[in-house]
Structures are given as C-alpha cells and as structure tokens.
Structure 1
Amino acid sequence: MKGLKKQRRIQIIVLAFVALALSTALMGYAMRDGINFFRAPAQVMAEPPGPDEVFRLGGLVAEGSVIRGEGETVRFAVTDGGATIPVTFTGILPDLFAENEGVVGTGRYIDGVFQAHEILAKHDETYMPKEVIDALKEQGIYQDPNG
C-alpha cells in the first residue's frame, strides 16, 4: 500500500512539472511577437538587426529630412547625434510629428532603411520617451528642458 501511495505522489509531481513546463512554453510562444526591443540609430549602425527582426527605433527626426511622396508614403531620417537612419512609413503620421522632435517607430531594418509600420510622436512640448532621452544622453546632445 505504501508503494502505491509513493508511486501516485511521484506521478502527480511529474504531471505538475510537465504542465508547468508546457504552460511556460506556451506563454513564451504567445509573447514572441509582442516583445520589441528599443534601439537608437547608433546601435542599429553598430549591430544591424536581421530583416525579420521587429524592433523600435527612436531618436529625433532629422532637420530637412521629411519627404512626403505620393499617397501616404513618407520618408524621413531619425538621428541620435551619432548616426542617422533613413525611415519609410506608409500611413498617417501623428499630428505632433515634426522635424527636430522625438519619435519612436516600430518596424524592420531592411537594406539599410527602417521600414516602419507604426510611428509615435511626442506627447506634448516636453515629453520624450525615456529610451530616446537615454540614447540622446549617451551621445551627449540631450538638454533637459526643465533646467
């Protein structure tokens, strides 16, 4: 009788371990496309990502780089002071999108051009995403608007 209880207890423990491993694997599989790493232009130039990798690119819209094409396609460049990456975006840009302002785009880096499928602009006159501020501080060009 004691052997049967011990065997049943081991079976339950093994089953619980398998269920935990399976649920962890399923959660990881479900989140694989939801994790987008942030990169500054200098980081992209130093270590270019593969064409299948989706990531977020952030920095300032380079002055004089915005070219509006036919239709909804817009070309511009994002810079962090250390490097500049050309960006293409097809869609409607946020109302607050402007040159020399903070921007974060989500997309892929293909053949030297970042092809964005989402563009986020600054929130108000002082807002800039933390990742953009950190990247600009690394380059030594960030100036705090509050002093």
Structure 2
Amino acid sequence: MHPIRKKRLTIVLFLVAGIAIAVGLTTYALRQNINLFYDPTEIAAGNAPVDVRIRAGGMVEEGSVARDTDSLKVNFRVTDYAASVPVQYEGILPDLFAEGQGVVAMGRLNEQGVFVADQVLAKHDENYMPPEVAEALERSSKGQHKSADVEKAAETTAY
C-alpha cells in the first residue's frame, strides 16, 4: 500500500472511531438523564418501569397526607381521579404542597408499587398545573365529569 494512501486510511479510521465514541457517549448520557412521565393510572396498571427514575404526577389525594413526627418522612397518595398511587418522600416539601393540589414527583417505583420520590414539585399558583398532569387528568376524566380545576388547568397550560 502506498504511504500516502495508508496515512489517509489511518486518518479516516480515527475519525470514524472518534465519531462513533462521541455518538455512543451522547446516547448514554441522554439515556441516563431522561425522566419519563407516568400518570397514576399507568403506574397502577403496571405500565411504569420498576427501579427506573421516572416522574409521576397528579393531584394530592384529600386526607392522604401522613407526616412522620420524628423525621421529614411524608406519605401521601397521588391521584388522577381514576387511580391513585402511594408516594413516600423524605425531605422538605414545597410551601405550596397541599391536599387537592397538583404535584409532580421524581423518583423510582419500588417492587411493592410505592413511588419513592426524591423530589416533589408543587404548582406555583391557583390556576397553573403542569401540562403532563393536566393531560393525564383530562384523559382519566373523559367520559366522566370534568372538574373546574382540570378545565382551568387546560386553559392555563395552553401554549
């Protein structure tokens, strides 16, 4: 093989290998940082992966908040009015967290079907609801009565 041709082939091989490594690392990083959203109906039906970081959202079920007196542990249920999922969280909850309010929790679903959250986000005013939560509530309430909160949220979250 001619030396110039050999040098070109070496350069091309290094470029291809470098691009392949860059694409592989980018794909790996994106896969590690993606958080898919699941509503309580999907989680209760077993459609959410176990021990994978996901987001779950809905409304905090009335009468479901139980705080541990000795620690920052809080147990509550998130509902989309069709199904509800138990959530465990240890930490300081947002000031706007309350029963009957919209939340999005990030964490992992354990083998017992309990969502163990490491972050809880609450809506920021009386009309706003995260778009994923509004869509999930709207899907679960089709064929049923729509609450005023869901209708307000749909109007507020329109782009």
Q: TM-score, normalised by structure 2?
A: 0.82
Partner residue in 2 for 1:118 = 119
How many residues are matched? 146
How far the C-alpha of 1:123 sits from its partner, in A, is 1.2
Q: TM-score, normalised by structure 1?
A: 0.89
The C-alpha deviation readout for 1:60-94, integer Å capped at 9, x for no partner, is 00011111112111110000112100111111000
Tell me the secondary structure at the aligned position of residue 108 of structure 2. Answer: strand
Cα distance in 1 for partners of 2:18, 2:50 equals 35
Cα distance in 2 for partners of 1:123, 1:10 equals 58
Aligned structure 1 segments of 4 or more residues deviating by more than 4 angstroms: none
Partner residue in 1 for 2:98 = 98
User: Which runs of no fewer than 5 residues in structure 1 stay unpaired?
Assistant: none
How far the C-alpha of 1:31 sits from its partner, in A, is 3.4
The C-alpha deviation readout for 1:107-141, integer Å capped at 9, x for no partner, is 11111211111000001111111111111111124
Partner residue in 2 for 1:109 = 109
How far the C-alpha of 1:32 sits from its partner, in A, is 3.4
User: Which runs of no fewer than 5 residues in structure 2 stay unpaired?
Assistant: none
Cα distance in 1 for partners of 2:130, 2:85 equals 18
Matches within 5 A, 1:1-147: 3-70=2-69, 71-110=71-110, 111-140=112-141, 141=146, 142-144=150-152
Counterpart of 1:143, as a letter, is E
